[in-house]
Structure 1
Amino acid sequence: MLKKTLTIYLPLSVVIVIFLLIFFGDKGLLDLKTMETKKRQLVEKNEALVQSNLSLHQTVVRLKDDLAFIENVARKDLGLIKENEVIVKLEKDPRPGETVSTGEEDDEAMDSGAEDGEAMDKEAEDE
């Protein structure tokens, strides 16, 4: 009786242990699946880096050869301007409740101030 149970259960238990080692053991099927997932992620990351590298290479080539591109980068990134150029910065939206001065009042005040200054100059010349 003992021999019969040993001949049945011993090979069965060996098969079960081998099966468990194949699936759950070190370098088993579960590890294979995780490694395949990791490999796929690394390949995708590598492809993104290759695209980024190509873009950077094209930028370097343009910076070496293309004067219009160099000017564009200097203006955009470095804020440089050409000689005799003036930069005018405009506010996008005034704050709620604020009025926007059109500058006409300031111009009128400056014009009247200039007239007063001219009159003072004439009086000084007369004396």
Structure 2
Amino acid sequence: MTVTYVIEGSGVTGADSFWTAVGEAVNGPGGYFGRNLDAFADCLSGGMGTPDDGDFVFEWRDHARSARALGHAETARYLERLAARAHESNRGRLREECARAAAGRGPTLFDRLVEIIRDRAGADGLRLL
């Protein structure tokens, strides 16, 4: 039986609130399901609250609001925070990505999250409402 997790997009105002929303959608109040893109992808691979057989769907309600909140400006902030604590060998790349995002170019956090979900859960693993 397919399990459906509902992400309430109306409450997503940035990356931090997304991590909270998806954590609570999967694991209940205060639940964890990643706090960065890599951890989120890892959580989708199993063992963090989703069924072992991978039979689940994310229903992302009010996704358009989330897409705006997780747009280029928030992407630039997210990448700047990553660059500040990244290994020096990764800082240049992260700062370049940050500059592109600040200029309104390149994939947004929303785009990356959608891609990760579809990569890990399949095309049918995400319903954007």
* TM-score, length basis structure 1: 0.20
Greater fraction of residues in helix: 1
- Rg (Cα) greater in structure: 1
Higher RCO, 1 or 2 (CA under 8 Å, sep at least 6)? 2
